[in-house]
Amino acid sequence: MKETDVIHVSKDRPEKGKYVKPLFRGLNFIFKNFLSKPVTLQYPTEKTQRSQRWRGLHRLEVDEKGELKCVACGLCARICPSEAITIVPYEEEGGIRYPKKFVINELRCIFCGFCQEACPKAAITLTEVYDYIDYNRTDFIFDIEKLKIPEQFKFTGK
Amino acid sequence: MVEYLIIPVIKLIVMFSVFLFIAAYTTYMERKFLGHMQMRYGPMRVGFHGLLQPIADGIKNFFKEDVIPENADKAVFVLAPAISIAAAIILLSVIPFGPPIKILGREINLYLANPSIGILFILGFSTLGSYGNILGGWSSGNKYGYMGGLRASAMIISYEISMAFAVVSIIMVTGSFSIVDMVNAQTGLWNVFKQPVAFLVFLISGVAELNRTPFDMPEAESELCCGYNVEYSSMKFALFFLAEYIHMIVFASLVATLFLGGWHGPAFVPGVVWFFLKMFAVIFLCIWVRATFPRLRYDKVMKLEWKFLLPVALLNILATGMVMAVL
């Protein structure tokens, strides 16, 4: 066998006994870690800050009189790629339109944010709520009452 | 009557409950310290900062289903945790954890027994505890358990030797096999200053004997998926772990008594406190080492013992004998 056939896996292997000092450096490092504050968070009670552009659960905005801004034009339902939004419009005699039913299936939703972009009245926005959990699939089908205050579904560990 | 029956029984009950309590809370201490060493919190949910976690774990283990694998050797499988825990608890009986105290005019020694061969008793029974691991791994009918059992037997064959030789040099210094005599001989100067090499050898081979990282060959989670206890569940599993932690406490108190002067220390706090402080310092060292070092490769573990620790321990005995002959 020629010398060139030999593959040296580790060329700069330290000499015998050279590993003793690094062992103590490791111990020192771990002790410094032991004295410093943990970097983890206690999740349900402490949470990291979401970005302002975070796309979480939907909210139906209300105006200053407490009525829905939504005029039930159906653009959001139209643009929704996963067909998660169902709207049943209702028009009064005076020409005021509002949604009779506004249902979002949060299990179908892919949180792309197209509905927010498409809305001409800025009536639907995506909030920072990202950890809604529940027991039944039907609980994830949000109606108007649930969509008005999505902040109540923030997970707090209870 | 009082001397031979009532006082030993009271001591037995007190020691048993105190040391089992300490063993349970050593698990909490380990998880908490390990967590903080890895910059996380450790248990936080049960009670204030997770203080009730050991109790919750105990209750959980009681109510778990007790599974015995189909192709296990059932008698040995059930016997193995019992051997493990019995051999661990019996070790506590010869540990002296304080100077004699006076209660109601009676002098009471803070140990259960002081046999004249105390240290041999400890070496013998600590090895017997490993039979629990070996038999448990062997009888599981599982190849990982079998591998774990094989490794456990290899570990006791090798590391027991250097541990015993480290103890031999202490016996030479003291001139007695009794642990109480060993503590009394350290009134002036602790053995760690007389026998620093033996201290290091005892510490390393003791951690190996406990099967803790970096020498946790029998249970190597990442290669044997928990090794010898892989088929165990419920209280049997808990007994194995209780035995492991009691072994750790015994090891820590052995280091404290043989090398760190036992209950001796500056007199402003009582000797019992000194003993437990030293014990917990050694336990902390174990946890610290566990958090720092990765597991050694199997052949390197054997190499460390047979090519380094054993010759060093033998040379240490030789040097001690020469110094004693000259002086």
- One-letter amino acid identity for A46? E
Say yes or no for a CB contact (<8 Å) between B292 and A27: yes
DSSP codes joined into one string, A90-138:
EE-TTS-EEEEEEEEETTT-----HHHHH-TT--EEE-S------S-GG
Q: What is the value of pTM for the model shown?
A: 0.82
B8-37: pLDDT as tens digits: 888 888 888 888 888 889 989 999 999 999
Residue whose C-alpha is closest to residue B15's, from B108, B110, B105, B118:
B110
Q: Please tell me the predicted confidence (pLDDT) of residue B315.
A: 92
Contacts of A27 in chain B (CB under 8 A): 288-289, 292
Q: How many CB atoms lie within 10 A of CB A45?
A: 9
In whole angstroms, what is the distance from residue B167 CA to residue B145 CA? 32
Minimal CA separation from B37 to chain A, in Å: 4
B44-79: burial string, b at 16+ Cβ within 10 Å, e else: beeeeebeebbeebeeebeeeeeeebeebbeeebeb
Q: Please tell me the predicted confidence (pLDDT) of residue B188.
A: 77
Mean pLDDT within B60-89: 87
Residue whose C-alpha is closest to residue B132's, from B230, B238, B243:
B243
Q: Of B60-64, B138-142, B267-271, where does the model show the most confidence?
A: B60-64
Minimal CA separation from B41 to chain A, in Å: 6
B96-126: pLDDT as tens digits: 887 777 777 777 777 777 888 888 888 888 8
Q: Please state, in angstroms and as integers, the Cα–Cα distance from residue A83 to each residue in A57, A75, B266, following that order.
A: 16, 12, 78
Indicate whether B244 pLDDT > 80: yes
DSSP classification of residue B94: G
Higher pLDDT, A82 or B3: A82
Indicate whether A11 pLDDT > 70: no
Q: Please tell me the predicted confidence (pLDDT) of residue A14.
A: 67
A126-143: pLDDT as tens digits: 888 888 888 888 888 888
Indicate whether B313 pLDDT > 70: yes
Enumerate long-range contacts of A131-137, CB under 8 Å, 24 or more apart: A131/A155, A132/A57, A132/A106, A137/A107
What band does A158 get if pLDDT is binned at 50, 70 and 90? low
Biggest CA pair distance of chain B: 64
Enumerate long-range contacts of A108-112, CB under 8 Å, 24 or more apart: A108/A82, A108/A83, A108/A84, A109/A58, A109/A80, A109/A82, A109/A84, A110/A81, A110/A82, A110/A84, A111/A55, A111/A56, A112/A55, A112/A81
What does the mean pLDDT of chain B come to? 85
Q: Does B193 touch chain A (CB under 8 A)?
A: no
Evaluate whether A68 touches A99 at the Cβ level (below 8 Å).
Answer: yes
